[in-house]
């Protein structure tokens, strides 16, 4: 079975011929040193996973012939991650791991103690795409435009519980809180900056009924660790861990 997976937004049907974009041609030709006749997997969120054969390849162009469907689209758990941007390396790690775990939407949230000012959402999107290709997802998580905490809360969909990771110990243990929610209720996790949320931000959050403060145990975790830890607990309890990898 081919192991290269590429996201192709065009309609995927048997015998369709597709032209790949510049980055994909570079990756196949220079990095993976692929040749005419080699096979790979292409996918998107509507048509699922398909096998394709390289019908021509050069430094600048690559055409694929779509051959057969390997699986229908694979839905991801309905969980969002709201996070205060951190430095580049932990940020890259966070987007990559959270995409592997199944997050469907990332929302960068500017908080009082956020030290990163230049938010590169296009880089976040590229990280998410790469992680989706490697982790067998057929959908690519959305990266929302950065917002401030107050605007996030004011425009929040009231039916989605927002789990605020609170390192001060005033929250309920995350697994206990999840047990009290209705099955399959939409969730989001909110992680603070390296300096933590300010007292004013905690006060602001207590006025919204859909926010639940949660603790992730007695140790103080780095923001990226807290995100991965919180998401793993949420997805293990309310996500799709009963399903198995489907076609590889």
Where do contacts with ligand SAM occur on this chain (CB under 6 A)?
165-167, 191-192, 194-197, 215-217, 219-223, 226
CB-wise, 6 or 226, nearer to ligand SAM? Answer: 226
CB of 76 to ligand SAM, least distance (A): 23
CB of 30 to ligand SAM, least distance (A): 39
CB-wise, 48 or 192, nearer to ligand SAM? Answer: 192
Bridge partners of residue 189, in order along the sequence: 81, 163
The answer to whether residues 147 and 110 touch, using CB atoms and an 8 Å cutoff, is yes
CB-wise, 54 or 165, nearer to ligand SAM? Answer: 165
Phi-psi domain of 217 (left: phi exceeds 0; alpha: psi -120 through 50; beta: other): left
Tokens of 182: 């209705």
CB of 188 to ligand SAM, least distance (A): 13
CB-wise, 26 or 222, nearer to ligand SAM? Answer: 222
CA-closest candidate to residue 79, choices 161, 157, 151, 134:
161
CB of 216 to ligand SAM, least distance (A): 4
CA-closest candidate to residue 131, choices 176, 85, 91, 165:
91
Positive or negative: CA dihedral 44, 21, 62, 92: negative
Closest residue to ligand SAM, based on beta-carbon distance:
192
CB-wise, 157 or 195, nearer to ligand SAM? Answer: 195
CB of 134 to ligand SAM, least distance (A): 26
- Rounded-to-integer distance, Cα 66 and Cα 39, Å: 10
């Amino acid at each position: 079975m081919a192991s290269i997976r590429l996201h192709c937004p065009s309609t995927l049907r048997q015998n369709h011929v597709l032209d790949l974009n510049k980055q994909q041609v570079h990756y196949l030709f220079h990095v993976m040193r692929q040749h005419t006749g080699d096979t790979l997997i292409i996918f998107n969120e509507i048509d699922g996973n398909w096998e394709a054969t390289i019908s021509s390849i050069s430094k600048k162009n690559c055409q694929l012939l779509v051959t057969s469907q390997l699986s229908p689209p694979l839905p991801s758990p309905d969980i969002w991650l709201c996070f205060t941007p951190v430095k580049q390396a932990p940020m890259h790690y966070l987007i990559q791991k959270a995409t592997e775990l199944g997050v469907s939407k990332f929302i960068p949230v500017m908080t009082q103690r956020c030290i990163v000012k230049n938010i590169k959402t296009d880089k976040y999107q590229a990280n998410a795409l790469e992680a989706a290709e490697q982790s067998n997802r057929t959908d690519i998580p959305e990266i929302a435009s950065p917002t401030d905490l107050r605007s996030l809360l004011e425009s929040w969909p009231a039916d989605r519980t927002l789990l605020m990771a609170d390192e001060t110990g005033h929250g309920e243990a995350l697994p206990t809180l999840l047990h009290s929610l209705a099955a399959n209720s939409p969730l989001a996790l909110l992680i603070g900056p390296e300096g933590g949320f300010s007292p004013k931000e905690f006060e602001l959050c207590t006025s919204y009924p859909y926010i639940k403060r949660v603790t992730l145990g007695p140790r103080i975790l780095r923001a990226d660790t807290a995100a991965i830890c919180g998401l793993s607990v949420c997805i293990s309890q309310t996500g799709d861990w009963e399903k198995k990898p489907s076609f590889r």
